[in-house]
Structure 1
Amino acid sequence: MDGSVPGNHSDSNSPVSGGEVRLMEEGSPAVHLGTLIALMVEEGEDWKTVEIPPPGVAVLTQAPPPAAAAPPPQMAPSAPPLPPPRGTYTEITASNVWCVIAQRLTQSKTTIPHAYATVDCDLGAILQLRKELAKVEIKVSINDFIIKAEAATLMELPEVNVTWTGEAPQALDSISISIAVATEKGLITPIITNAADKGVQEISANAKALAQNAWDGKLLPCEYQGGSYSISNLGMFCISAVINPPQVCILSLGTSKAVHRLTEETGALSTVTLSSDRCLVDDKLASRFLDKFCVNLERLQCMSLA
Structure 2
Amino acid sequence: MRLSEAKSVIQKVKPHKIGIRFPKRAAWTPTIPASGPKIPDEILRLAIVKSPSASKAAPAKTAAAIPEGVPRMRDGRPKYEDIPVTNIRNVIAKRLTESKQTIPHQYTSIKVSVDNAMALRVALKESGVNVSMNDIVLKAVSIALKQVPELNAVWSDGDVQRLEDVDMCIAVATDAGLFAPKLSKVDQLGLSGVNAHVKDIAGRAREGKLTPSELSGGGFSVSNLGMFGITEFTAVINPPQAGILAVGGIEKELTLDGLVNTMTLTLSSDGRSVDVNDAFVFCEKLKAILENPRIMLML
TM-score with structure 2 setting the length? 0.71
Partner secondary structure for residue 140 of structure 2:
helix
* 2:155 is the counterpart of 1:164: yes
Partner secondary structure for residue 242 of structure 1:
coil
In structure 1, the partner of 2:282 is 289
- Residue 136 of structure 1 deviates from its aligned partner by 2.5
Partner secondary structure for residue 128 of structure 2:
coil
Larger Rg: 1
Bigger Cα displacement from structure 2, 132-141 vs 286-295 = 132-141
- Residue 137 of structure 1 deviates from its aligned partner by 2.8
Task: Choose the corresponding residue for 1:140, options 122, 131, 156.
Answer: 131
In structure 1, the partner of 2:72 is none
- Residue 87 of structure 1 deviates from its aligned partner by 3.4
Letter in 2 for 1:272: L
Bigger Cα displacement from structure 2, 285-294 vs 77-86 = 77-86
Tell me if structure 1 keeps the 8 A contact 2:245–2:265: yes
Going from structure 1 to structure 2, the CA distance change for 1:237 and 1:182 (only over 3 Å counts) comes to: farther
In structure 1, the partner of 2:82 is 91
- Residue 240 of structure 1 deviates from its aligned partner by 0.8
Distance, in Å, in 2 between the alignment partners of 1:137 and 1:165 is 44
Letter in 2 for 1:268: N
Partner secondary structure for residue 138 of structure 2:
helix
List runs of 5+ in structure 1 lacking aligned partners. 1-76
- Residue 234 of structure 1 deviates from its aligned partner by 4.0
Tell me if structure 2 keeps the 8 A contact 1:178–1:189: yes
* 2:114 is the counterpart of 1:123: yes
Letter in 1 for 2:165: S
Letter in 2 for 1:122: S
Letter in 2 for 1:199: G
Distance, in Å, in 2 between the alignment partners of 1:116 and 1:130 is 29
Distance, in Å, in 2 between the alignment partners of 1:301 and 1:137 is 17
Q: Which one has a larger percent helix, Structure 1 or Structure 2? A: 2
Q: Deviation per CA, 1:140-183, whole angstroms, max 9, x where unpaired?
A: 11010111111101111112211011221111110011000000
Distance, in Å, in 2 between the alignment partners of 1:119 and 1:290 is 7
Equivalent positions of 1:52-201 (< 5 A) are 86-201=77-192
* 2:234 is the counterpart of 1:240: yes
Distance, in Å, in 1 between the alignment partners of 2:83 and 2:193 is 41
Task: Choose the corresponding residue for 2:265, options 243, 248, 272.
Answer: 272
- Residue 304 of structure 1 deviates from its aligned partner by 2.4
Tell me if structure 2 keeps the 8 A contact 1:199–1:305: no
Distance, in Å, in 2 between the alignment partners of 1:277 and 1:283 is 10
List runs of 5+ in structure 2 lacking aligned partners. 1-49, 60-74
* 2:289 is the counterpart of 1:300: no
Task: Choose the corresponding residue for 2:195, options 199, 204, 214.
Answer: 204
- The one of the two structures with greater contact order (alpha-carbon pairs below 8 A, sep at least 6) is 2
- Cα RMSD (Å): 2.4
Distance, in Å, in 2 between the alignment partners of 1:138 and 1:301 is 15
Amino-acid identity (%) = 37
